[in-house]
Amino acid sequence: MRTGFRKRSMGLIAGFAASALVLAACGEDGDTGAEEGNGDGNGAAEEQDITIGVFSGWEEGIASSYLWGHILEEEGFNVTYETADPGPIYQAVSQGQYDFSTDAWLPATHEDYWADLGDDMEDLGTWYDDAPLTIAVNEDAPIDSLTELADNADAFDNKIVGIEPGAGLTRITKEEVIPTYGLEDMEFAESSTPAMLAELESAVDSGENVVVTLWRPHWAYEAFPIRDLEDPENALGDPEEIHAFGRTGFSEDFPQVAEWLGNFKMTGEQLHSLEEIMFNQNDGEQNEESVEQWLEDNPDFVENLKAGELSG
């Protein structure tokens, strides 16, 4: 699993670079693959194009995006995936360059994006409602709570390993967690999700203590022996909801797809099992095949989704 992680990291970085070129290419005219007015109100979609924006390194978003890509391709859509950090994805959706994305963390993690761009997007519904932000350590770390971290900073090389500087988790860690628990004297290393995971892997493999910013659901909890530090002051906030969101006019152009997205729900067990296949068994390199494998184990999922009979 850990060898596969190194392959995934390079793939995510390459995907971000490619998506940056796509954004630059389509930024002038705001064109999207979906032609306005093509939707006929039902699932059939001969030759219709849909572009899904996928957050780089956000595994629940990758998993749900490829699940939706499979559903839509079965309905006749031509599906394109574009991968980038959340900021560029939000910009592209708000400008009509991408049709929808599945990974808006609300109300706190992505509140800045919604404050800036929400008027130019559609909230297509909540599909997962128990997604906490976390501060995680190696399983055999000498502390159990964030209240103990400042007094034991030396055991963690006086460093908290973070993700992207623009991430909501990074902002909440800086503005809430660090001052709440008196961690100002620790280095908060802002990097990227792949870099954080690489440092986590390295520390675990070498038997060293490490503290990282993380979130659930995430495959790292299965791949590495780690656990969350208690947050008695609730500085990280309550568990978030994960929403799908689309460009303005998406539900008008694709009413049936928008209805299905509104029906979409996954339980923790379902999402965990899909991520397990996609990222642990298949190393994040066979996403379409992973979805097909998962649907073989969940044969009624799509039918129930379309009928509005899913419960998260």
Render pLDDT for 279-290 as a digit per residue (tens, 0 to 9): 888 888 899 999
Q: Residue 47: its pLDDT value, please? A: 66
Give the closest residue to 103 by CA, choosing from 234, 235, 266. Answer: 266
Give the closest residue to 102 by CA, choosing from 136, 132, 72. Answer: 72
Q: Is the pLDDT of residue 97 over 80?
A: yes
Question: Rg for the chain (alpha carbons), in Å?
Answer: 20
Regarding whether 246 and 122 lie in a shared domain, the answer is yes
Strands 78-84 and 100-106, bridge-based pairing? unpaired
Regarding whether 165 and 85 lie in a shared domain, the answer is no
- In a domain? residue 233: no
Regarding whether 220 and 95 lie in a shared domain, the answer is no
Q: Are 180 and 265 in contact (CB under 8 A)?
A: no
- In a domain? residue 54: yes
Phi-psi region of 158 (alpha: psi -120 to 50; beta: other; left: phi over 0): left
Q: Where are the alpha helices (DSSP H) in the chain?
A: 2-26, 59-74, 86-94, 111-117, 168-172, 178-180, 193-206, 220-223, 250-253, 255-263, 268-275, 287-297, 301-306
- In a domain? residue 98: yes
When pLDDT is cut at 50, 70 and 90, the band that residue 198 belongs to is very high
Q: Which domain holds residue 191?
A: 133-228
Tell me how far apart the alpha carbons of residues 79 and 72 are, in angstroms, rounded to a whole number: 7
Regarding whether 82 and 46 lie in a shared domain, the answer is yes
- In a domain? residue 235: no
Q: By percentage, how much of the chain surpasses pLDDT 70?
A: 84
Neighbours of 120 (CB within 10 A): 14
| Residue range 178-202: mean pLDDT, rounded | 95
Tell me how far apart the alpha carbons of residues 248 and 95 are, in angstroms, rounded to a whole number: 8
Residues in Cβ contact with 128 at an 8 Å cutoff, skipping those fewer than 6 apart: 60, 217, 241, 242, 265, 266, 271, 312
Number of domains in the chain: 2
Domain final residue pick, 197, 228, 259: 228
Render pLDDT for 238-248 as a digit per residue (tens, 0 to 9): 999 999 999 99
Q: Which two tokens stand for residue 187?
A: 């280095």
pTM attached to this predicted model: 0.77
Render pLDDT for 47-81 as a digit per residue (tens, 0 to 9): 699 999 999 888 899 999 999 999 999 999 999 99
Q: Which of 27-36, 146-155, 294-303 has the lowest mean pLDDT?
A: 27-36
Tell me how far apart the alpha carbons of residues 103 and 110 are, in angstroms, rounded to a whole number: 10
Q: What mean pLDDT, rounded, does the chain reach?
A: 87
Neighbour-count burial for 100-114, b at 16+ CB within 10 Å, e otherwise: bbbbbbbebbbeebb
Q: What is the CATH classification number for the domain harbouring 88?
A: 3.40.190.10
Selected residue with higher pLDDT from 24 and 163: 163
Render pLDDT for 225-280 as a digit per residue (tens, 0 to 9): 999 999 999 999 999 999 999 999 999 999 999 999 999 999 989 998 999 899 88
- In a domain? residue 110: yes
Q: Are 194 and 9 in contact (CB under 8 A)?
A: yes
Render pLDDT for 85-94 as a digit per residue (tens, 0 to 9): 899 999 999 9
Q: Is the pLDDT of residue 43 over 90?
A: no
Give the closest residue to 79 by CA, choosing from 56, 102, 106, 113. Answer: 102
